[in-house]
Chain A
Amino acid sequence: DIVMTQSPDSLAVSLGEGATINCKSSQSVLYSSDNKNYLAWYQQKPGQPPRLLISWASTRESGVPDRFTGSGSGTDFTLTIGSLQAEDVAVYYCHQYFGIPLTFGGGTKVEIK
């Protein structure tokens, strides 16, 4: 199984400041045949299902604010929130869809400082 390890478990950021969430996979999720990283990021607010923010490690989904940026390749990935807004308070998960079983990171809780 590909183990996804996120860090930190939680972070508190002042409004307008940046936030960085890390995700490390136990093996590469870069598929050589198409040169794509099979890695997604989701946002989950209380009482709601996860919402897809980023796919293929860096492709922002339609409607996602451009303050959300995904980066990285191979085994190390980052989700950056450029300027934290109040509505960004949530838990963020990384997800690898490279291999079965599909697996998720443990989540990072983002709060306002």
Chain B
Amino acid sequence: EVQLVESGGGSAQPGGSLRLSCEASGFTFSSYWMHWVRQTPGKGLMWVSRISGDGSSISYADPVKGRFIISRDNAKNTVYLQMNSLRAEDTAVYYCARSATAYNSFDPWGLGTLVTVSS
């Protein structure tokens, strides 16, 4: 069974950092692009970042560019999101998701991990 499990969420102060992890199982991890998507009640779903199967191609959404870093360890079947200089507006549930190619739908999604940024 294909499965994605996020971890690392929690509370942080503005300006702080968190590192999210997403462990994959049930498929050949290195063959897939991986994405981070966040969801807030007020602003819906927002794509955050993506990384290619070999880690050579990376993209970010403008609101997180320069603050967040996506990476992956194919030996550990895990994708990471290092979140620095956190802001209140980064508060959201963060999902990881898989896509077969750079431009493809997301399937499946993990259950998500909640990040709360507050003083």
Q: How many residues of A contact B (CB 8 A)?
A: 23
> Which chain A residues (33-52) contact chain B, with CB distance < 8 Å?
38, 40, 42, 48-52
Q: How far is the CA of A93 from the CA of B108 in the complex (A)?
A: 15
Q: Are A61 and B61 in contact (CB under 8 A)?
A: no
Give the size range of B's interface with the partner: 20 to 34
Task: Return B48 CB to nearest CB of chain A, in Å.
Answer: 9
Instruction: Say yes or no: A97-B45 contact (C-beta < 8 A), given A49-B111, A50-B109.
Output: no
Q: Which residue of A lies closest to B62 (CB)?
A: A101
Task: Return B74 CB to nearest CB of chain A, in Å.
Answer: 22
Contact sample, A vs B, 24 pairs, CB 8 Å cutoff: A42-B106, A49-B95, A49-B111, A49-B112, A50-B45, A50-B95, A50-B106, A51-B108, A52-B108, A55-B104, A95-B105, A95-B106, A97-B99, A97-B104, A101-B47, A101-B59, A101-B62, A102-B35, A102-B50, A103-B47, A104-B45, A104-B46, A105-B44, A107-B45
Residues of A bordering B, CB below 8 Å: 38, 40, 42, 48-52, 55-56, 61, 93, 95, 97-98, 100-107
Residues of B bordering A, CB below 8 Å: 35, 44-47, 50, 59, 61-62, 95, 99, 103-112
